[in-house]
Structure 1
Amino acid sequence: MRVRFSQDPESLHPLSYGNAPALQVLNLIYQSLLTIDLRDKSIQPLLAGGLPTVRRDDSLSYFTFKLRPQAKWDNGTAVTASDVAFSLKLLHSPLLDNERWRAQFNFIKDIIIQPGDSASFTLVCRGYTPEMRLMTGDFFVLPAHRFDPKGLLSNIPFHTIRQKFDSLASTSTFKTYAAFLNQPQFARDTAWVRGSGPYKLKSWRNGQTVVLDKKQGWWGDQVAKEAEILRATPGKIVFQIIPDNAAAIMALKAGQLDLLDDMPLVAFQEMKKNEKYQNKFTFSSPSSFDLVFLGMNGDKPYLQDKHTRQAISHIFNVPQIINSLQGGYATPSVGLVHPEEKQYYNKGLSPVTYDLKKASQLLGQAGWVKTSEGWHKTIANQRQKLELEVIHRAGNSDFEHLAILLKQNAQAIGVPVTIQALESSQIRERLDTKQFDLFFRTLSGNPFSYNLIPLLHTSNKVEGGSNVTGFGTPETDQLLENIASEEGTEQKAVLLKKLQQEMQEQSNWVFLYFLQNKIAVSKRIDAAVVSSLKPGYDLTKFTFKK
Structure 2
Amino acid sequence: MFRTILLSLLAACLASSPLAAQEARWRHGSGLLEEPKYPPDFKHFDYVNPNAPKGGLVRLGAQGTFDSFNIVVAGVKGAPEQGLGLVYETLTTSSLDEPSASYGLLAESFSYPEDYSSVTFRLRPEARWHDGKPVTAEDVIFSFETLKENSPTYAFYYANVTKAEKVGEREVRFTFDEKGNRELPQIMGQLLVLPKHWWEGTAPDGRKRDITQTTLEPPLGSGPYRLKSFEAGRSATYERVKDYWGANLNVNVGQHNFDEIRNEYYRDATVLLEAFKGDRIDFRTENSARNWATGYDFPARREGRVILEEFPLRATGVMQAFVLNLRRDKFKDQRVRRALNLAFPYEEINKTIFSGQYERVSSYFHGLEIASSGLPEGQELAILESVRDKVPPQVFTTPYTNPVSDSPTAIRENLREADRLLREAGWELKDRRRVNAKGETLTIELLADSPNDERVFLPYKAALDRLGIVTSVRTVDDVQYVNRVRSFDFDVISSVWPESLSPGNEQREYWGSQAAQREGSRNLAGIADPGVDALIDRVIFAKDRAELVAATKALDRVLLAHDYMVPQWTYLKQRTARWDRFSHPETMPRYGGAAFPTIWWYDEAKAAKTGAPR
1:234 to 252, 255, 258: 258
Percent identity (aligned) = 18
1:389 to 414, 419, 444: 444
Paired with 1:24 and 1:217, the residues of 2 have a C-alpha distance of 23
Paired with 1:478 and 1:183, the residues of 2 have a C-alpha distance of 36
Distance 1:39 1:202, change over 3 A: farther
Paired with 2:552 and 2:323, the residues of 1 have a C-alpha distance of 20
Number of the residue aligned with 2:35? none
2:190 to 124, 138, 142: 138
Judge which range, 21-30 or 271-280, deviates more: 271-280
Number of the residue aligned with 2:461? 407
Paired with 2:479 and 2:266, the residues of 1 have a C-alpha distance of 23
Number of the residue aligned with 1:126? 177
Paired with 1:277 and 1:333, the residues of 2 have a C-alpha distance of 32
Paired with 1:131 and 1:484, the residues of 2 have a C-alpha distance of 7
Q: Does the 8 Å CA contact 2:372/2:554 hold for their aligned counterparts?
A: no
Aligned-partner SS, 2:247: helix
1:545: how far off?
A: 1.7
1:62 to 118, 121, 131: 118
Q: Does the 8 Å CA contact 1:336/1:500 hold for their aligned counterparts?
A: yes
Paired with 2:444 and 2:421, the residues of 1 have a C-alpha distance of 20
Number of the residue aligned with 1:352? 402
Paired residue total? 501
User: Aligned pair 1:317/2:345, yes or no?
Assistant: yes
Q: Does the 8 Å CA contact 1:233/1:541 hold for their aligned counterparts?
A: yes
Equivalent residue runs for 1:116-515 within 5 Å: 118-128=169-179, 129-149=181-201, 180-182=209-211, 187-190=215-218, 193-223=219-249, 226-228=250-252, 231-262=255-286, 264-270=288-294, 272=296, 276-277=300-301, 279-286=304-311, 287=313, 291-339=319-367, 341-346=368-373, 349-353=399-403, 354=405, 355-370=414-429, 373-378=432-437, 382-385=438-441, 387-398=442-453, 400-423=454-477, 426-427=480-481, 436=490, 438-447=491-500, 448-451=502-505, 452-462=507-517, 464=519, 466=521, 467=523, 469-514=525-570
CA-to-partner distance for each residue in 1:391-415, whole Å, 9 max, x for gaps?
31242422x2332122211233343
1:182: how far off?
A: 4.3
1:132: how far off?
A: 1.7
Q: Does the 8 Å CA contact 1:46/1:230 hold for their aligned counterparts?
A: no
Paired with 1:300 and 1:183, the residues of 2 have a C-alpha distance of 33
1:233: how far off?
A: 0.5
Judge which range, 205-214 or 427-436, deviates more: 427-436
What are the ranges of 5 or more consecutive residues in structure 2 without an aligned counterpart? 1-57, 376-398, 406-413, 605-614
Number of the residue aligned with 1:2? 59
Paired with 2:488 and 2:232, the residues of 1 have a C-alpha distance of 37
CA-to-partner distance for each residue in 1:344-377, whole Å, 9 max, x for gaps?
4446644311322322232344344445544444
Q: Does the 8 Å CA contact 1:212/1:238 hold for their aligned counterparts?
A: yes
Paired with 2:282 and 2:98, the residues of 1 have a C-alpha distance of 24
Aligned-partner SS, 2:198: helix
1:423: how far off?
A: 4.1
Paired with 2:293 and 2:429, the residues of 1 have a C-alpha distance of 44
Q: Does the 8 Å CA contact 2:446/2:492 hold for their aligned counterparts?
A: yes
Paired with 2:243 and 2:518, the residues of 1 have a C-alpha distance of 52
Aligned-partner SS, 1:294: strand
Q: Does the 8 Å CA contact 2:276/2:282 hold for their aligned counterparts?
A: yes
Letter paired with 1:148: E
Aligned-partner SS, 2:117: strand
Q: Does the 8 Å CA contact 1:17/1:23 hold for their aligned counterparts?
A: no
1:257: how far off?
A: 2.0
Distance 1:439 1:327, change over 3 A: same
Distance 1:402 1:478, change over 3 A: same
Q: Does the 8 Å CA contact 1:333/1:513 hold for their aligned counterparts?
A: yes
Q: Does the 8 Å CA contact 2:90/2:190 hold for their aligned counterparts?
A: yes
TM-score (norm 1): 0.80
Q: Does the 8 Å CA contact 1:29/1:197 hold for their aligned counterparts?
A: yes
Q: Does the 8 Å CA contact 1:245/1:264 hold for their aligned counterparts?
A: no
Paired with 1:189 and 1:323, the residues of 2 have a C-alpha distance of 48
Number of the residue aligned with 1:110? 163
Judge which range, 501-510 or 468-477, deviates more: 468-477
Paired with 1:430 and 1:240, the residues of 2 have a C-alpha distance of 27
Paired with 1:513 and 1:306, the residues of 2 have a C-alpha distance of 22
1:147: how far off?
A: 2.6
Letter paired with 1:527: H
User: Aligned pair 1:540/2:598, yes or no?
Assistant: yes
1:308: how far off?
A: 2.0
Paired with 2:591 and 2:70, the residues of 1 have a C-alpha distance of 23
Distance 1:461 1:532, change over 3 A: farther
Number of the residue aligned with 1:165? none
Number of the residue aligned with 1:169? none
Letter paired with 2:363: G
Q: Does the 8 Å CA contact 1:260/1:519 hold for their aligned counterparts?
A: yes
For the pair shown, which has the larger CA radius of gyration, 1 or 2? 2
Paired with 1:67 and 1:544, the residues of 2 have a C-alpha distance of 32
1:216: how far off?
A: 1.5
Instruction: Give the alignment's Cα RMSD to 1 decimal.
Output: 3.6
Equivalent residue runs for 1:69-84 within 5 Å: 69-84=125-140
Judge which range, 519-528 or 258-267, deviates more: 258-267
Paired with 1:293 and 1:241, the residues of 2 have a C-alpha distance of 27
CA-to-partner distance for each residue in 1:460-516, whole Å, 9 max, x for gaps?
444747445453433333223333333433223333323333233321211112366
Distance 1:71 1:267, change over 3 A: same
Paired with 2:426 and 2:601, the residues of 1 have a C-alpha distance of 63
Distance 1:317 1:213, change over 3 A: same
Letter paired with 2:581: R
Number of the residue aligned with 2:73? 16
Paired with 2:577 and 2:518, the residues of 1 have a C-alpha distance of 43
Distance 1:325 1:352, change over 3 A: same
Paired with 1:109 and 1:281, the residues of 2 have a C-alpha distance of 52
Q: Does the 8 Å CA contact 1:2/1:256 hold for their aligned counterparts?
A: yes
Q: Does the 8 Å CA contact 2:444/2:469 hold for their aligned counterparts?
A: no
1:526: how far off?
A: 1.0
Judge which range, 300-309 or 533-542, deviates more: 533-542
Equivalent residue runs for 1:513-528 within 5 Å: 513-514=569-570, 517-527=574-584
Paired with 1:73 and 1:46, the residues of 2 have a C-alpha distance of 17
Q: Does the 8 Å CA contact 1:393/1:424 hold for their aligned counterparts?
A: no
Equivalent residue runs for 1:92-103 within 5 Å: 92=148, 97-103=150-156
Q: Does the 8 Å CA contact 2:419/2:467 hold for their aligned counterparts?
A: yes
Paired with 1:297 and 1:143, the residues of 2 have a C-alpha distance of 40
Paired with 2:279 and 2:588, the residues of 1 have a C-alpha distance of 20
What are the ranges of 5 or more consecutive residues in structure 1 without an aligned counterpart? 151-177
Aligned-partner SS, 1:445: strand
Q: Does the 8 Å CA contact 1:5/1:21 hold for their aligned counterparts?
A: no
Paired with 1:465 and 1:180, the residues of 2 have a C-alpha distance of 26
1:524: how far off?
A: 1.0
Q: Does the 8 Å CA contact 2:73/2:212 hold for their aligned counterparts?
A: no
Number of the residue aligned with 2:13? none
Paired with 1:291 and 1:20, the residues of 2 have a C-alpha distance of 23
Q: Does the 8 Å CA contact 2:152/2:520 hold for their aligned counterparts?
A: no
TM-score (norm 2): 0.71
Distance 1:148 1:407, change over 3 A: closer
